[in-house]
């Protein structure tokens, strides 16, 4: 199938657009039929993805997790696969799927054409592919999205440190059917994917194709200990700490003592209270076979 390459020109501080000529050369060398569309905004990107589906093309998103999540959510339930060329700051879905960040490697995955089915998350009806989180994460994401002077993954570490200075523990409520759990702390998250924030493995055991969400609760702890544990998130070993609890469910209700924004795939997708659920195997992606 021909490809419709949807490029977000502002993704990664312009990184995606800078790498476009190399992508075009790699595609031409493999004699892959494609067209390029630079996206103007989310409605335009969604419209171009749907036009590609109608034309029998594979939409390939060259951007970060935000646009990948939006287009993936739109394609959920269809037979058309989603292609990905990492072009953002985090690229966490591509990381977990095994799609290389180097252009030649990413294009080679597209050329092979292997596909796999993955789950899609949904928070208050808004679909996502990664991790829906709130609380401390709400503040950290807000700061990261407003930071333009720091490029690459360092922006997430910077945002976490900025958020920690002003953070005051909040009260969270987790609803699992008739069961209610309450805790005071930092973060409440529903993870479809293992990673977010440019390689932080918040839910190291999460599986993109198990039909469930990993519910991560980070409880109250002193700021110095929280700061000391932050590096552990890059290895996923933070879940061994007493203040971290992980459950698994296909549907969960979130609420808190404050109307926190809920972020997923690096974007503000809804606000608390929120009902989060999983759509099992709803999306086909062009990616290496599951290990």
Spell out the domain ranges in the chain.
3-113, 126-281
pTM of the predicted model, to two decimals?
A: 0.92
Measured in residues, the chain has a length of 291
Q: How far is CA 159 from the centre of its chain?
A: 17
Pick the CATH number of 3-113 from 1.20.1260.10, 3.20.20.370, 3.40.50.720, 3.40.50.10330: 3.40.50.10330
In the chain, at which residue ranges do the beta strands (DSSP E only) sit? 3-7, 34-38, 58-63, 83-86, 115-123, 126-128, 131-135, 170-176, 179-191, 213-219, 244-249, 251-256, 261-264, 267-271, 274-286
Q: Which two tokens stand for residue 61?
A: 């998103």
Identical fold for domains 3-113 and 126-281, yes or no, is no
Distance, in Å, from the CA atom of 189 to the CA atom of 205, rounded to the nearest integer, reads 14
Annotation: CATH topology of 126-281? Tumour Suppressor Smad4 (2.60.200)
Contact by Cβ (8 Å): 267, 89: no
One digit per residue, the tens of pLDDT, for the chain of length 291 reads 899 999 999 887 778 888 999 999 999 999 999 999 999 999 999 999 999 999 999 999 999 999 999 999 999 999 999 999 999 888 999 999 999 999 999 999 999 999 999 999 999 999 999 999 999 999 988 888 777 666 556 777 788 888 899 899 999 999 998 899 999 999 999 999 999 988 999 999 999 999 999 999 999 999 999 988 889 999 999 999 999 999 999 999 999 999 999 999 989 999 999 999 999 999 999 999 987
Helices 223-233, 154-166: axis angle to 10 degrees equals: 160
Distance, in Å, from the CA atom of 46 to the CA atom of 67, rounded to the nearest integer, reads 9
Locus of tokens 């739109």? 74
């Amino acid at each position: 199938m021909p490809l419709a390459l949807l490029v977000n020109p502002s993704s990664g501080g312009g990184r995606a657009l800078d790498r476009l000529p190399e992508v075009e050369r790699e595609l031409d060398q493999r004699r892959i039929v494609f067209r390029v569309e630079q996206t103007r905004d989310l409605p335009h990107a969604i419209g171009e993805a749907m036009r590609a589906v109608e034309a029998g093309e594979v939409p390939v998103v060259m951007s970060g997790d935000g646009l990948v999540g939006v287009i993936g959510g739109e394609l959920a339930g269809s037979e058309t696969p989603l292609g990905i060329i990492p072009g953002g700051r985090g690229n966490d879905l591509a990381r977990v799927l095994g799609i290389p960040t180097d252009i030649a490697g990413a294009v080679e995955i597209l050329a092979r054409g292997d596909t796999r089915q993955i789950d899609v998350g949904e928070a208050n009806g808004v679909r996502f592919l990664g991790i829906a989180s709130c609380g401390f994460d709400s503040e950290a994401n807000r700061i990261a999205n407003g930071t333009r002077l720091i490029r690459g993954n360092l922006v997430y570490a910077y945002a976490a440190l900025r958020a920690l200075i002003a953070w005051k523990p909040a009260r969270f409520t987790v609803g699992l059917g008739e069961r209610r759990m309450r805790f005071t702390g930092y973060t409440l998250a529903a993870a479809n994917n293992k990673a977010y924030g440019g390689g932080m493995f918040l839910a190291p055991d999460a599986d993109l194709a198990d039909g469930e969400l990993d519910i991560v609760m980070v409880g109250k702890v002193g700021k110095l200990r929280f700061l000391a544990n932050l590096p552990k998130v890059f290895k996923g070993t933070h879940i061994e700490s007493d203040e971290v609890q992980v459950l698994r469910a296909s549907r969960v209700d979130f609420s808190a003592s404050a109307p926190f924004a809920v972020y997923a795939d690096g974007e503000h997708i809804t606000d608390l209270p929120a009902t989060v659920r999983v759509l099992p195997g709803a999306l086909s992606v062009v990616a290496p076979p599951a290990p």
